[in-house]
Amino acid sequence: MRHFGQAVAVERLDVSDAEVVAASLIDASRFGELFDRHFADIDRYLARRVGREIAGDLAAETFVIAFRGRASYNPSAAEVRAWLFGIAANLARRYWRTERRRLRAYARTGVDPLGQLDTDAINHRLDALSAGPQLAGALAALKHSDREILLLFAWADLSYEEISGALAIPVGTVRSRLSRSRARVRELLAPIGQVELEHASEGGSHG
């Protein structure tokens, strides 16, 4: 599915995302460069959250919304990648019940409803050593707002500042909610011996 960029012969890799957005205000086809750069990551993130049958449409809608709102994009508020993930997260929010239902089904049956829940990535980002079903159950138990931040951190690989820009909330709120959600996941996993409890460094490479 391709709405943008079919007229773009060669992606200009030396041009920043923000410059592409600005250029697309004059030449709309330039927006296709952002599609080429980020669609796969947005689609993958949404598939993990809401399922592959919904993800493709939501990923495409993410870029349609971004395209329509590109004139109001503020590079000082968020990097383009974070801006796109913020739109995607907002679209996924309407399916939060679907997300929780999938996670609970995985926790109960041990059968990943997506066929591939990337537990390695989230385990690494959570400083955890956890089996997938147990982790899915812990994620399902989180408040939606906390889970959203945790998954942007773990699955979208956004920094604190990028999450702040994506969701339009203060960095301090991101830090506190992320700390709370990580602590809750560890608390839920610790009794079954699936996680090594160790304090996450404040800041680190994502501070």
Give this prediction's pTM: 0.72
Angstrom distance (rounded) from CA 60 to CA 16: 21
Per-residue confidence (pLDDT) for residue 53, from 0 to 100: 79
Confidence (pLDDT) at 5? 46
| Predicted local distance difference test score (pLDDT) of residue 9 | 38
Tell me the residue type at 207.
G
Give me the numbers of helices (H) and strands (E) for the chain, helices first please.
Answer: 10, 0
CATH of domain 104-207: 1.10.10.10
As a 3-state breakdown, the chain gives helix, strand, coil percent values, each rounded to 5, of 70, 0, 30
DSSP label at residue 4: S
Residues 77-112 have pLDDT tens digits of 899 999 999 999 999 887 766 666 666 666 666 555
Residue 88 to residue 194: CA distance in whole angstroms = 31
Residues 152 and 121: their CA atoms lie apart, in Å, by: 12
Residue 144's pLDDT is what?
82
d(CA 181, CA 175): 10
CA 116 and chain centroid, separation:
16
Tell me, what amino acid is at 15?
A: V
Cα–Cα distance between 113 and 115 in angstroms, integer? 6
* Predicted pLDDT of residue 191: 59
Contact 112, 179 (CB under 8 A): no
Query: What pLDDT is attached to residue 2?
Result: 46
Extract the residue ranges of the chain whose pLDDT is less than 70.
Answer: 1-13, 96-133, 190-207
For the chain, how big is the Rg over CA atoms in Å?
Answer: 18
Topology of domain 1-94, per CATH?
Rna Polymerase Sigma Factor; Chain: A (1.10.1740)
Q: Do 145 and 177 touch, CB atoms closer than 8 A?
A: yes
Where exactly are the structural domains of the chain?
1-94, 104-207
d(CA 85, CA 167): 9
Residue 196: predicted pLDDT: 40
The predicted pLDDT at position 197 comes to 35
Beta carbons of 166 and 159 less than 8 angstroms apart: no
